[in-house]
Amino acid sequence: MNLPESKCSCSTPPTERYDRQLPLFGRVGQQKLSDASVFIAGAGGLGSPVATYLAAAGVGKIVLLDCDIVDKTNLNRQFLHHEKDIGRQKAESGAEKLTALNPEIQVKSVCSKLTEENIEKLVGDCRIIVDALDNDKTRRILASFAIQTKRPYFHAAVSGFQGQFASFYPEDGPCYFCAFPEDEEGDDNEAEAEKPIFPIVGATAGIIGSMQANEIIKYITDAGKRQVGKLFIWDGLTDRFEIIEIEKETSCHCSSKTESK
Ligand SMILES: [Zn+2]
């Protein structure tokens, strides 16, 4: 794994909080989790499971971004937010729950809309980028930034009983735009327009967000096998996963726009 900020000193023994996962990762793996920094864009249906499991696993720094306010219609799936949080900023409500779950980690809330102008400042020194978004325009900004700055990018999206996720690594395999070329993604004004109301089952977001978290934990700890160049599509009505191979495109961002930062 290539996490520049990770320097495993293992000087501080992990607490008993992690006893049930230490047999899997060892102290070295737990220290890698503690040294990791993750930027999560979206504190909603996907952000709730992915942020919760990363916090519980001991990821040392989580930055949680969302510009929305908690609404009652969010509560069927966005379990970071409770009835009492209606009207609050999602990022603040979510960060509060993560800190309550694991006060041994650092959690920062960002109540801002992600733009090409502010993304570098908002992501800061987080080395891992998580897409828990609900619109493709912001997703493209996030994915493009990940490519430019050579950060791993964990994509997910859900609608109804369906969901998908894919992991993209700077040093290996295709990128998000190889799978979803920009000219096929439709209206650039999508995020500016009123958000469409799409049906969603909370459990579906939970399944996909949990798989995202699992891949991120594997990446950080070097456990198992990375799923490179694969788009996983889940159909909750038939309980089936379809796995689509993503080809690396020679004319893509990942081949022409990569730079070091
Ligand atoms: Zn690409």
pLDDT above 80: residue 160: yes
Q: How confident is the model at residue 149 (pLDDT cuts 50, 70, 90)?
A: very high
pLDDT above 50: residue 6: no
Separation of alpha carbons 196 and 106, rounded Å: 34
The CATH number of domain 23-187+194-256, selected from 2.40.170.20, 3.60.21.10, 3.40.50.720, 1.10.10.1200: 3.40.50.720
Ligand 1 centroid to residue 170 C-alpha, Å: 10
199 phi, psi to nearest 5 deg: -75, 150
Ligand 1 centroid to residue 31 C-alpha, Å: 32
pLDDT above 50: residue 3: no
- Structure-block tokens of residue 237: 């009505």
| pLDDT single digits (tens) 188-237 | 554 455 566 889 999 999 999 999 999 999 999 999 999 999 999 999 99
Q: In what order do the strands lie in the sheet with 128-131?
A: 106-110, 61-65, 37-41, 128-131, 153-159, 162-168, 230-235, 240-245
- Structure-block tokens of residue 238: 């038939």
Yes or no: say if 61 and 38 are a contact pair by the CB < 8 Å rule.
Answer: yes
The pLDDT score that the predictor gives to residue 259 is: 45
The pLDDT score that the predictor gives to residue 210 is: 98
The pLDDT score that the predictor gives to residue 5 is: 42
Separation of alpha carbons 90 and 82, rounded Å: 10
| pLDDT single digits (tens) 72-126 | 999 999 999 999 999 999 999 999 999 999 999 999 999 999 999 999 999 999 9
The pLDDT score that the predictor gives to residue 184 is: 57
Ligand 1 centroid to residue 132 C-alpha, Å: 20
Instruction: Using alpha carbons, list the distances in angstroms from residue 155 to 19, 135, 168, 261.
Output: 29, 12, 8, 22
The pLDDT score that the predictor gives to residue 121 is: 98
Tally of helices (H runs) and strands (E runs) in the chain: 8, 8
The pLDDT score that the predictor gives to residue 14 is: 76
Q: Which residues surround ligand 1, an ion (CB under 5 A)?
A: 175, 177-178, 252, 254
Average pLDDT over all residues of the chain = 90
The pLDDT score that the predictor gives to residue 8 is: 46
Ligand 1 centroid to residue 180 C-alpha, Å: 9
pLDDT above 90: residue 15: no
